[in-house]
Chains A and B, each alone.
Chain A
Amino acid sequence: MSSDRAPARAPRRRRSRVALLVRGIALTYLALLLVLPVLLVFVRTFERGIEPVIEALSRPAFLAAFRLTIIVTVIAVPFNAIFGVIAAITLVRHRPRGGAFLNALIDLPFALSPVVIGLALILVYGKFGVIGPELEARGFQVIFAVPGIVLATILVSLPFVVREVMPLLREVGTDQEEAAATLGSGSWRTFRRITLPAIRWGVIYGVILTTARSLGEFGAVSIVSGKLSGKTETLTLHVEERFQSFDPVGAYAASVVLALMALAVLLGMSVLQSGVIQRRFSRGDRRQAADQAVR
């Protein structure tokens, strides 16, 4: 039938000693650096049973931190998703003057240490910043308040969606969008029915990464938050605060919550992925669909 079908999988080769060695090194590396420490956090948390954990997780300071982290993420992720898609389309499709500069600029939050981003925000919005006093006079406090934390989180997680979507847009090309236009589709409808489906995996991956980063951001947030327990303390700051107050159970319990949230995000993604694939392809073509997803 069609010539561009995925080629049949190469026959399984006998495992050579070198392959085994390489695999062993990779797995040991992962185990030592990733699995063991994370596992230990879980173990230490429940060392003295579940009671102290429940107690730590029902304190008002923890609950406030948990709530704040959720709020910040719920604001930052849609912002960056929408901005990311718009920026990617602008850079790839419209190629504005100074596009190359803008393109480099978008990576800045990755290149800069989050601490620097936090300090930069204070220089603009702080009490002695460029527009900070102006805003404060109107009763709007940014630094040492929730808006500053949201801003810092948006900034540090800004590149994810853009970077995931841009290569997809390039790869898809303009053919399908042009075809839709000749069939009478306006630009919004073309975006919704042609462009968005084509880039949706990039958007989803970008959103996942943005979410994970938003939940876990520490450096920039720690500079701008002021760390007022129960007010401007996010989960990561709460972990640090508990740790330094000689409350290991409180610190580990909050860490476990953070880890579980990240896990839930990743799990949600894989469920979504398999669900979409099953809906899109009939039974007989599922293997091909899986192959495509892997690519």
Chain B
Amino acid sequence: MAIVVRQLTKRFGDFVALDRVDLEIRDGSLTALLGPSGSGKTTLLRIIGGLEEPDAGAVILDGRDVTRMPPQARGIGFVFQHYAPFRHMTVHDNVAFGLTIRKRPRAEIERRVRELLELVQIAHLADRYPSQLSGGQRQRMALARALAVEPRMLLLDEPFGALDARVRKELRQWLRRLHDETHVTTVFVTHDQEEAMDVADHIVVMDHGRIEQEGTPRDLYDRPANAFVMTFIGPVTTVDGALVRPHDIDLLPDPEDGAVEVLVERVVHLGFEVRAELVHGDGHRTWAQLTRDEAEALEVTAGRIVWARARHPRTFADAQAGGREVPTG
């Protein structure tokens, strides 16, 4: 299902959650809405799903204006951040809910529920109640329940946010595979850029209720439209006031054109990756990301003077070009 959003605006009191947002999502794509908290990404998802009404603007699904239609009429599957399991129903009844509402024959419901529970690998838990499941199992149940009604569009709100790291990675790949098999148009909200890069084939970066940039993961990484996108996606440091990817900093043993003199303050070995923390003559700090081989060839050690040259330095109009001096994650 193709999704078109025009000039969507939504306020909560004084807070502008969405500010005249335009967006088109291709049929069959897997799109991530990426942004910090308060950027409007969840509000946008909820308006597409019909759970929230916009103050202005329109939502058009496959050419049909559904802005004022309730969620029941939109043919969507929605997975909530905390899964919203029906607590008084078994896993089986949770998944069957949408089908019983559609008054499908009993045999068909049973068959479909069994198929879905097998698909999400929790068939053995059919008679359990949600309170007896782990977080990952609840997430799988929520997915099966949303898929049961054969939605033409799957919307997921921070689907992996509440899971531990290992389960999160596993479910991510599973969602990707599921999408590759079913090709149902999928939109998910996340604040985790790595998750967006890993799963989505199209990323929409949002901040302060606006879309900052959209494109493929590669586009956004290589050609960020502004400092916000560049700092939000991937590691960033600064050299001579310009934003640079730390792996785009070449360290040279001797002075060369365009290279600045820096002191190696500290060298951190992270397996394959080596991180060199550098200080400029004026006290400004920056860091470079090297492979182990590069670091060894250069003999980068703390206390040495080297010359740093940025390969693709960028300056942007938006002034907040601070960047992160040292990666936090």
Contacts and interface: CB of A to CB of B under 8 A. Distances in A.
A3 B101 contact: no
Interface residues of A, number: 27
Interface stretch (B127-135, B189-197, B296-304): B127-135
A179 B101 contact: no
Interface in B116-149: 127, 129, 131-135, 145-146, 148-149
Given A180-B97, A181-B70, A182-B71, A3 B134 contact: yes
Contact of A194 (B70, B71, B86): B86
A186 interface: yes
A183 B87 contact: no
Interface stretch (B73-81, B223-231, B272-280, B320-328): B73-81
Interface in A173-208: 175-176, 178-186, 189, 193-194, 197-198
A32 interface: no
A179 B78 contact: yes
A280 B88 CA distance: 9
B132 A2 contact: yes
B84 interface: yes
Most buried by B among A179, A189, A198, A281: A179
A97 to B, nearest CB: 15
Nearest to A186: B72
Interface of A: 1-5, 175-176, 178-186, 189, 193-194, 197-198, 280-282, 285, 288, 292
Contact of B72 (A184, A280, A281): A184
Given A178-B51, A183-B97, A189-B101, A198 B87 contact: yes
Given A189-B101, A197-B88, A198-B87, A181 B51 contact: yes
A182 B131 contact: no
Given A182-B71, A184-B72, A198-B88, A175 B80 contact: yes
A100 to B, nearest CB: 17
A288 B128 CA distance: 13
Contacts of A185: 72, 97-98, 101
B101 A184 contact: yes
Contacts of A288: 131-132
